[in-house]
Amino acid sequence: MSGSLMNRIESKEDDLVKLTQDLVRIPTINPPGEFYKDCAEYLGNRLKARNFSIEYVRATGTPGDTDTFPRINIIARREGLRPGPCIHFNSHIDVVEVGQGWTFDPFGGEILDRKIYGRGTCDMKGGLAASIIAVEAYIEAFPDFAGTLEISGTVDEESGGYGGVAYLAQKGYFSAPRVDHVIIPEPLNKDRICLGHRGVWWAEIETQGKMAHGSMPFLGDCAVRHMGAVMSAFEKDLFPALAKKRTDMPVVPEGAKQSTMNINSVHGGQSEDITGFPAPCVPDSARMIIDRRFLIEEKLDDVKEEVYKILNDLTDKRDDFSYQIKDMFEVQPCMTDKSAPVVQAVSSGIEEVLGQEASYVISPGTYDQKHIDRIGHLKDCIAYGPGILDLAHQPDEYVGIDDMLDSAKVMASAIHTLFTKGQRD
């Protein structure tokens, strides 16, 4: 690709920095979903001035959508002079809460040693800014490009993406024939291509008992002791079995290359928020929420069956044991093929810009690719963007200016590859 495009991106450094700072200074904290409209309009105004057509889509009725905190997404589209594939850059505009331990102003966008600090710099306003600069530079360098470029700023990724990418995918914004290739500039490091993520199953298990006076527990049946039995069975049978399941998916970090389960919470008996002295009662209910992450080699039905079996064995063996289990949330694992056009294009961009081979990773947790895969049925999708994954959601989160410039160059190179070598199918 032309060196002039690379030079053009370098010459936009001040614009890139200012854009990132402006975005960081809009505190789009989720929950509750603050300042979404401001952020969407900021993006819309910028891209409209560059001849993009702009759509604002409010995800009415999705979780958290109210007139105070409307779920407003923006989609900007710029069609080239000639037909060709559509490349879409999707970034979430929401950020997580600030938390403790900051030495920088979380919404100041301060710069030190060529790093921009603030909540959302790394995850993922730096990636959003880099993709905008890449697209704008590309259009300037190749005004007669054949195809369509889209940039979206979507909400609620940090809370499941229902008012964001999921909603838009249901409306056809992430499907053929509208879109062919999607890049999500999440912070996965500038030399890595993230092909997908592990699967998720959240469930709530309840053990049941019988209420009685706490001085005569033999007259009741303690649901918390039953839950204790569930936990020991998990320790003895489930966790060791999960540790043995290894995946061929290139999951990072290493510890996530196996099946995992987090016990998210356990509650039983008297609620924790009582004031005063507790009443002496035998608890008749205990609840546990599990967060199971599974591998592409596993089937969700088998993942569930493994837990059901432990619970059913307890029902057989343990006096008066009874339980209920209910699904709360599930996501299938996904992994884009390495031979997919967008993977090939970004991979050659990494080689060209960084002079090294791309590495391929799978995210331990999910992100919006799940909706593009499952609802949009679009398989040519990856995450690629600047920023160090480990910094996401931490205090003093930052993004490196040079990383943003490099990844913007990689993105521009990938656009060129997809427009000039890509075939619309």
Interacting residues with Zn ion between 186 and 205 (CB under 5 A): 186
Q: How far is the CB of 315 from Zn ion (least distance, A)?
A: 41
Q: Please give the distance of CA 205 from its chain centroid, rounded to a whole number.
A: 26
- The answer for 158, left when phi > 0, alpha when psi is -120 to 50, beta otherwise, is alpha
Total interface residues for Zn ion by CB under 5 A:
3
Stretch that binds Zn ion, among 110-118, 182-190, 358-366, 404-412 (CB under 5 A): 182-190
Least Å from the CB of residue 333 to Zn ion: 18
C-beta closer to Zn ion: residue 127 or 147: 127
CB of 172 to Zn ion, least distance (A): 24
Strand pairing report for 192-197 and 359-363: parallel
Question: What does the alpha-carbon distance between residue 131 and residue 129 come to, in Å, rounded to a whole number?
Answer: 5
If the CB atoms of residues 187 and 268 are measured against Zn ion, the closer one turns out to be 187
- Considering only 51-59, 180-188, 315-323, 413-421, which stretch makes contact with Zn ion by CB under 5 A? 180-188
Nearest partner of 19 among 130, 99, 117, judged by Cα: 130
User: Going edge to edge, which strands form the sheet with 115-117?
Assistant: 111-112, 115-117, 398-400
Q: Is 128 left (phi over 0), alpha (psi -120 to 50) or beta?
A: alpha
Please tell me the distance from the alpha carbon of residue 52 to that of residue 315, in angstroms, as a whole number: 61
Per the CB < 8 A criterion, the answer to whether 404 and 385 are in contact is no
Q: Which is nearer to Zn ion, 186 or 403 (CB)?
A: 186
CB of 94 to Zn ion, least distance (A): 8
Nearer to Zn ion, 87 or 392 (CB): 392
Q: What's the min distance (Å) between Cβ of 176 and Zn ion?
A: 25
Q: Residue 189 in 3-state DSSP? A: coil
CB 123 within 8 A of CB 116: no
Task: Please choose, out of 137-145, 183-191, 374-382, 410-418, the segment that lies near Zn ion by the rule CB under 5 A.
Answer: 183-191
In whole angstroms, give the CA distance from residue 405 to residue 13: 7
- Cβ–Cβ < 8 Å for 12, 140: no
Stretch that binds Zn ion, among 30-38, 185-193, 209-217, 271-279 (CB under 5 A): 185-193
CB of 157 to Zn ion, least distance (A): 6
Integer CA distances (angstroms), 301 to 167, 308, 327, in order: 26, 10, 12
Six-digit token pair at 275?
Answer: 């004031």
Residue among 92 and 226 whose Cβ is closer to Zn ion: 92
Task: Show the tokens assigned to 383.
Answer: 């995450």
Contact between residue 135 and residue 89 where contact means Cβ atoms under 8 Å apart:
yes
Q: For the CB of residue 309, give the shortest distance to Zn ion in the complex, in Å.
A: 35
Residue span binding Zn ion (CB under 5 A) among the ranges 93-101, 178-186, 222-230, 277-285 = 178-186
Residue 186 or 380 having the CB closest to Zn ion: 186
Binding mask 110-139 for Zn ion (x = CB under 5 A): -------------xx---------------
Strands 146-154 and 82-92: parallel
- Binding span for Zn ion by CB under 5 A among 22-30, 179-187, 291-299, 379-387: 179-187
Q: How far is the CB of 22 from Zn ion (least distance, A)?
A: 19
The residue sitting closest to Zn ion, measured at its beta carbon, is: 123
List of residues contacting Zn ion (CB under 5 A) = 123-124, 186
